[in-house]
Structure 1
Amino acid sequence: MPTADTEVEVLIVGGGPVGLTARALLERWGVRTLLVEKHPELSPFPRSRLVNTRSMEIFRQLGIAAEITGNAFPREFGRIRFRDTLHDSDFATAAMVGVNAPISESPVIGVATSQDRLEPTLLAAADAPVRFGVELLDLAEGPESVVARLVDHQHGGGMRVRARYVLAADGANSTVRERLGIDTTGPGAMAAVTTVVFDADLNTWCADQPAGVYFTAHGSFLPLYPEGGWAWLAPTPEDPDRADWADLVTRALGPGAAVRADVLRVQHWVMHAFVAERFGDGRILLAGDAAHALPIIGGLGMNTGISDVHNLCWKLAGVLRGWAGPGLLDTYATERQPVAHLTLRQAVANTHLMFQAQSLRQQQLQTGEAAPARVELPWSDRYFAQGSYSASPTAPLPSSPTALPRPSRPTWARTTSPPRNRATACLTSGSDATARRSTPSANGSPCSPPTPLAGSSGPPPHGRCASRPLPTSTPDSAASPPGEHC
């Protein structure tokens, strides 16, 4: 293998919320990391806006949940309004379930914020080195490590990094996934979208009826921050280079709006929808959009990626520290890939419904029909169906578990045999909930200690999280989620 300039245990490729969360989690497990991000700085665009309950539970483990909540947007940003134009009355409304509202199963609540305000908090949550303006060019995997070839766009020159493992969180257009030759399944590119960030005084129509998103027949309007700023999301026109974006935004506001938009930034992007056929290859593992790109409707993408690395990082630490066998890493794809497929179906359904509603309403406006489009809000009804119990190698299900109906809230499987030992119940994003055994197997097979074993480095407990015994399933009652859990 080629020689390297730097050696680390885990090289993280990609400095978005998923990569930054992985860096913080691995540091708490005592794993030496280097994060490289090809862009020169953190994202200046608001982008992802919803931090759901499960992500907040993970941030609580990292000790940053209170800071994120303190910097979050007011409660009204958790509401969605549907209008013909921005200055018309609502014909439908919805609340983002789990945002600024408690759920009995969790000690935290989800919040509405923006990615450009979340990322600095995640960056400050760890001290491990970060290199901006450094792009991955290629990878060479050997039996014991991976050597990554990188280029430093800010300072010039190339560099090589040797890592025991590579965690790729480099987005939907992942260089790592391409280098590995991993194909994807799913609809693919669903829409070409343009985000226009602008300033305008829209208080006349929105101050008394605030919301986080206003869906209209001519695109979606999002207030960026409590102190001001707006974004307009709409299909990219055929010739975007010649578009008058200020005029397009003004026209989208509706006839007679008499408001001129001061355009600040324009970003063109593609709404992807796919799941990678494999979540890794040997010592190289995919997470976040590199593993699954989800449409933005419903706010599922970033949160699913954060749960990916929460599932993966303790397993990497276990293998690196020797208290788990390498086979444990195979369970990452086993547990997270079904979640990605389930979440993709939900996100695609949300997106189709929204496109259909906006298209139908446009037709009604053109023909003069008075009846508003019928709008269904599947994320409200299905949000809690994302939590369910699934088999995990860390706590095998009994041979004949009792079948349960499809849940409408997080559920916990009824078992037919008594537990062999105490387990920690872990509610995770999607259907990825596992019961973790408190002792390793003698032969080094996969296991998950709720606290690090002697001689290993791991995260300290928060509050009552590690000290309070948690219930396990019994033949007579289904296991129920604890009031406080990690």
Structure 2
Amino acid sequence: MDTEVLIVGGGPVGLTARALLGRWGVRTLLVEKRRELSPFPRSRLVNVRSMEIYRALGLDAAITAVAFAREYGRVRFRDTLSGPDLASAPMLGVHDPVPASPALGVVTSQDRLEPVLLAAADSPVRFGTALVDVVEEADDVRAVLDDGTEVHADFVLAADGAKSTVRDRLGIGTEGPGSLGTFTTAVFDADLGGLPPTGVCFTPHGTLTPLYPEGGWAWFGPTVPDADWPAVVSRALGAEVPVEVRRVQRWEMSAFVATGFRRGRVLLAGDTAHAVPPIGGLGMNTGVADVHNVCWKLAGVLRGWAGTCLLDTYEAERHPVAHRTLTQAVANARRTMAVRDGEVPWSEQYFAQLGLVLGVAYRSSAVLDPGELAEPGTDYVPTLRPGHRMPHFWLAPGRSTLDACREGFALFTTAGGAPAGSWPLHVERVTEEQLGMRGALLVRPDGHIGARLADVAELPGALAAITSAEAHSPTR
């Protein structure tokens, strides 16, 4: 069995990669050891940056249709779910639109998101099939599946989770705190009508989240041995209502970053590359940004308009982001755990992560003259500096600058067009007032600025440098 890209793992990250590569016309095969899509809610937030990516795939309306109303984009701190707020804060870019983006994030459950992503491409998917070995050969990668099938692929994209078989078989290590403890999620039903909308509520007795707009709840907290789960949940609810616990799942809260994101023709993404605590909703969304970064690069190499050295920029760009995200997520988790001791952690700043979500900037050979890159803070400050995400502004009603990057590179120019050679390119004429500068901006397919050009005549050289220049980091 042959394919261009073998995707290992059928969670949101692997399914998003399949959809992105499908838009580039890349042949993929996805294998997933589970027999079906996840029946568990798990990830709870699709942030504003991920929704920008799904907007480009035409999936934002379908995702929003099965999500909560935006009023649920709020975090609350209470003694019990039925008690008054001790503190409350909106999730920026979810509760209300932000001027910096054409999209709006949503609170939704993973088991509602995954079917939308699965339907976004028609390439083959094999559920109930696990990868057991992966070997790089002279011209491709040979993957062995648990049914004895051998798959030969040009590249393997591993998104098979924190306990990744691929990462283990390649001998790639991890760095970071490691395990932060064993936790339990209890999915339950209870009549909790009349409560104000909340996306997540932290109490000293555990954290509570609504699962679906039509009903259902989840409690999670540190594992309690031999627990009476209805009693545990009732204590957190603080209300005399019947509680029906439907299922209980124990899991480990991991916190690490892989020491490398690439080994030859195999690339790591999502929890395989970085497992972060779920507090703050950064884990899945960081994985979605991973594959958004790497899929256009894979397409360029496979279609011949980019050199293989472009793939080295994936680790150079995403590895520092993973470390910053891990630091933020661990801080979120530890401060939230303090709620058990009656502390209310920095509620005004909770989910105030727009700088980390929209302010990510890259430094690699795929960015020309980036200058000094500032560490993203709480707030997002738009900038036209290379390496940063292209600022959003409306080109026409309903059409954002980010929409111009859907089919490849985008050239925003105050002058005329320029020949692009074999590279996929869309030219967007803008005024000097709109762009805020003279000349042109070359924006990569992932929406990040690749170069500032004084004249469009510089375009072919810039495209060649971005897609074929010497790599920022050595090939692994």
Q: Same fold (TM over 0.5)?
A: yes
Alignment partner of 1:409 is 2:380:
yes
1:251 maps to which of 229, 235, 244:
235
Q: Structure 1 CA distance, aligned partners of 2:30 and 2:120?
A: 13
Q: Matched residue of 1:353: which SS?
A: helix
| 8 A Cα contact 1:414 1:474, kept in partner | no
1:273 equivalent in structure 2: 255
Structure 2: how far apart are the matches of 1:453 and 1:126? 29
Q: Which amino acid aligns with 1:29?
A: W
Q: Residue 26 in 1 paired to residue 21 in 2?
A: yes
Q: Give the Å deviation of 1:88.
A: 1.6
User: What whole-Å deviation, never above 9, does each CA across 1:267-323 have from its counterpart, x for those lacking one?
Assistant: 111111111000020001000000001111110111110010010001001111111
Q: Answer whether contact 2:82 2:237 (CA < 8 A) is retained.
A: yes
Which residue number in structure 2 is paired with residue 182 of structure 1? 172
Deviates more, 1:34-43 or 1:109-118: 109-118
CA gap of 1:43–1:330, structure 2 versus 1, over 3 A, is: same
Mapped partners of 2:421, 2:53: distance in 1: 24
Q: In the aligned structure 2, how far is the partner of 1:382 from the partner of 1:142?
A: 42
1:342 — aligned with what? Answer: 324
Q: What corresponds to 1:319 in structure 2?
A: 301
What's 1:359 paired with? 340
Q: Which residue matches 2:56?
A: 61
Give, in whole Å, the separation in 1 of the partners of 2:375 and 2:324: 17
Q: CA deviation at 1:57?
A: 1.0
Closer/same/farther in 2, CA of residues 98 and 474 from structure 1, 3 Å limit: closer
Report the counterpart of residue 230 of structure 1 in structure 2: 217
Q: How does 1:138-177 map to 2 (within 5 A)?
A: 138-151=133-146, 157-177=147-167
Q: Distance in 2 between matches of 1:179 and 1:377?
A: 43
Deviation at 1:22, TM superposition (A): 0.3
Question: Which residue of structure 2 aligns with residue 366 of structure 1?
Answer: none
**Contact 1:402–1:413, Cα closer than 8 Å, also in 2:** no
CA contact 1:10–1:166 (8 Å) conserved in 2: yes
Give the distance between the partners of 2:311 and 2:329, measured in 1 at CA: 27
Distance in 1 between residues matched to 2:375 and 2:287, nearest whole Å:
27
Q: Which residue of 2 aligns with 1:135?
A: 130
Kindly state the Cα deviation for residue 377 of structure 1 after the two structures are TM-superposed: 4.7
SS in 2 for 1:134: coil
Query: In the alignment, residue 128 of structure 1 is paired with which amino acid?
Result: S
Return the alpha-carbon distance in structure 2 between the equivalents of residues 355 and 247 of structure 1: 20
Structure 1 residue 285 corresponds to structure 2 residue 275: no
Are the equivalent residues in 2 in contact too, given 1:164–1:283 (CA < 8 A)? Answer: yes
SS at match of 2:101: coil
Counterpart position of 1:209 = 196
Please point out which of 368, 375, 384 is paired with 1:396: 368
- Deviation, 1:115, is 0.8
Q: Give CA-to-partner distance per residue, 1:165-186, whole Å, 9 cap, x none.
A: 0000001111111111111111
Structure 2 counterpart of 1:197, from 187, 199, 202: 187
Bigger shift: residues 101-110 or 290-299:
101-110
Q: Does the CA contact (< 8 Å) of 1:147 and 1:161 recur in 2? A: yes
Aligned to 1:43: 38
CA distance in 1, matches of 2:341, 2:274: 30
| Contact map agreement 1:193 1:236 (CA 8 A) in 2 | yes
Q: Relative to structure 1, is the Cα distance of residues 29 and 110 closer, same or farther in structure 2, using a 3 angstrom cutoff?
A: same
Structure 1 residues 161 and 405, CA gap change in structure 2 (3 angstroms): closer
8 Å contact from structure 1 (residues 425, 470) kept in 2: no
Q: 1:388 to 1:36 in 2, by over 3 A?
A: closer
Counterparts in 2 of 1:208 and 1:55: CA distance versus 1, 3 Å: same
Deviates more, 1:263-272 or 1:11-20: 263-272
Query: C-alpha separation between the residues in 1 aligned to 2:170 and 2:361?
Result: 32
1:477: Cα distance to partner? 11
- The answer as to whether partners of 1:197 and 1:263 remain within 8 angstroms in 2 is yes
Counting only pairs closer than 5 Å after superposition, residues 451-462 of structure 1 correspond to structure 2 as none
Q: Which runs of 5+ in 2 are unaligned?
A: 393-401, 412-418, 449-476
SS in 2 for 1:116: helix
Identify if the C-alpha distance between structure 1 residues 374 and 12 changes in structure 2 by more than 3 Å, giving closer, same or farther.
Answer: closer
Is residue 92–residue 98 contact of structure 2 (8 Å, CA) maintained in 1?
Answer: no
Q: Conserved in 2, the CA contact under 8 Å of 1:424 and 1:470?
A: no
Aligned residue for 1:395, secondary structure, equals coil
Cα pair distance change 1:146/1:480, threshold 3 Å: closer
State the shift of 1:404 in Å.
Answer: 6.4
Mind listing any 5+ residue stretches in structure 1 that lack a counterpart?
1-5, 152-156, 362-371, 416-422, 429-434, 439-447
- TM-score (normalizing by structure 2): 0.81
Deviation per CA, 1:417-465: give whole Å up to 9, x if none.
xxxxxx996469xxxxxx9xx9xxxxxxxxx844997778x7xx9xxx8
3-state secondary structure, aligned to 1:158: coil
Q: Is contact 2:409-2:442 (8 Å) kept?
A: no
| Whole-Å separation in 2 of the counterparts to 1:480 and 1:410 | 20
| Aligned partner letter, 2:90 | A
Task: Provide the rounded CA distance (Å) in 2 between the counterparts of 1:350 and 1:78.
Answer: 17
Cα 1:414–1:172, aligned 2, differ >3 Å: closer, same or farther?
A: closer
Residues 369-384 of structure 1 correspond to what in structure 2 (within 5 A)? Answer: 373=344, 375-384=346-355
Change (3 A) 1:272 1:425: closer
Closer/same/farther in 2, CA of residues 406 and 107 from structure 1, 3 Å limit? closer
Instruction: Tell me, in whole angstroms, the C-alpha distance in 2 between the residues paired with 1:227 and 1:113.
Output: 12
| C-alpha contact 1:246 1:261 (8 A) present in aligned 2 | yes
Give the C-alpha shift of residue 466 in structure 1: 6.6
User: Which amino acid is the alignment partner of residue 42 of structure 2?
Assistant: R
Q: Cα 1:404–1:247, aligned 2, differ >3 Å: closer, same or farther? A: closer
Aligned to 1:21, the other structure's residue is in SS state helix
Please say which of residues 219-228 and 376-385 is displaced more in the overlay: 376-385
Equivalent-residue separation in structure 2 for 1:454 and 1:304 (angstroms):
33
Whole-angstrom CA distance in 2 between matches of 1:17 and 1:403 = 30
1:431 matched residue in structure 2 = none
In the alignment, residue 218 of structure 2 is paired with which amino acid?
A: A
Aligned-pair distance for 1:392?
A: 3.4
Amino acid at match of 2:234: T
Contact 1:249 1:261 in 2 (8 A): yes
CA distance in structure 2 between the partners assigned to 1:270 and 1:223 by the alignment: 21
SS in 1 for 2:96: coil
Percent identity over the alignment is 55
Indicate the residue corresponding to 1:8 in structure 2.
3
